[in-house]
């Protein structure tokens, strides 16, 4: 939808489904800032992340084509053991979004993660976030057609979406989708 209708989209989900808007966020991508707004139920059993793409991609046929290619649709699934899901999925032939090595170096510096957890994250292309409430582990598939999938694990009371990892994911998708 056009950028100027973004707030109307949030109101639609609030009015029709009774979802509540969370604080919005802007995430850097190789093509500009992506505005993200989460709407969800009180118990968080339904969560929708609405994303507004960079305005530079609006208004032309080339912009619309690039927007579809550079910003595929996103579906996420919750798991109680994302590392095990990743191992099984890789064995079954699922193509993962490759995460650059320096991401894990940054995680080590930022969070002081132990070597074993870093190995599990790196070996499975898992991403990680942590706050005072808990931890968030997740992985992404490569884009299939016009959609990619994410599998997430929430530990403790973590309630976010791994926003600090989003620029890394967007850059990795941009690189992989151009190969």
Any idea which of 4-8, 13-17, 50-54, 102-106 has the lowest mean pLDDT? 50-54
Cα 26 from Cα 35, distance rounded (Å): 4
3-state secondary structure 99-157: CCHHHHHHHHHHHCCCHHHHHHHHHCCCEEEEECCEEEEEEEECCECCEEEEEEEEEEC
Q: Of 94, 64, 75, 98, which is closest to residue 147 (Cα–Cα)?
A: 75
Other Cβ atoms closer than 10 A to 134: 14
> Can you name the residues that pair with 152 across neighbouring β-strands?
78, 138
Higher pLDDT, residue 93 or 30: 93
60 confidence band (pLDDT: 50, 70, 90): low
Mean pLDDT of 29-35: 74
User: According to the model, what pLDDT value does residue 16 have?
Assistant: 85
Which residues form the domain of 157? Answer: 3-176
70 confidence band (pLDDT: 50, 70, 90): low
Any idea which of 19-33, 66-80, 148-162 has the lowest mean pLDDT? 66-80
Name the average pLDDT for the chain. 86
Count of domains forming the chain = 1
Q: Of 62, 98, 115, which is closest to residue 174 (Cα–Cα)?
A: 98
Q: Is the pLDDT of residue 68 over 90?
A: no
Q: Per 3-state DSSP, what percentage of the chain is helix, strand, and coil (rounded to 5)?
A: 40, 30, 30
User: According to the model, what pLDDT value does residue 177 have?
Assistant: 78
pTM reported for the whole predicted model: 0.76
List the CATH number of the domain containing 59.
Answer: 3.10.180.10
| Sign of the torsion formed by the C-alpha atoms of 72, 86, 127 and 155 | positive
64 confidence band (pLDDT: 50, 70, 90): low
CB under 8 Å to 119, separation ≥6 — which residues?
none
- Alpha-carbon separation of residue 166 from 62, 98, 128, 142 (angstroms): 25, 14, 11, 15
Any idea which of 5-19, 76-90, 129-143 has the lowest mean pLDDT? 5-19
């Amino acid at each position: 939808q056009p950028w100027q209708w973004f707030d109307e989209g949030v109101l639609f989900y609030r009015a029709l489904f009774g979802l509540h808007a969370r604080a919005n966020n802007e995430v850097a991508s190789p093509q500009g800032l992506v505005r993200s707004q989460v709407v969800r139920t009180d118990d968080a059993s339904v969560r929708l992340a609405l994303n507004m793409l960079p305005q530079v991609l609006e208004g032309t046929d080339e912009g619309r084509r690039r927007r579809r290619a550079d910003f595929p649709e996103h579906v996420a699934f919750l798991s109680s053991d994302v590392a095990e899901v990743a191992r099984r999925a890789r064995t079954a032939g699922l193509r993962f979004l490759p995460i650059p090595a320096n991401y894990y170096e940054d995680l080590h510096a930022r969070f002081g993660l132990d070597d074993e957890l870093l190995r599990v994250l790196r070996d499975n292309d898992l991403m990680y976030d942590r706050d005072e409430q808990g931890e968030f582990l997740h992985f992404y598939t490569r884009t299939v057609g016009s959609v990619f999938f994410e599998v997430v694990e929430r530990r403790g009371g973590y309630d976010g979406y791994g926003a600090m990892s989003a620029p890394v994911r967007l850059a990795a998708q941009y690189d992989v989708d151009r190969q």
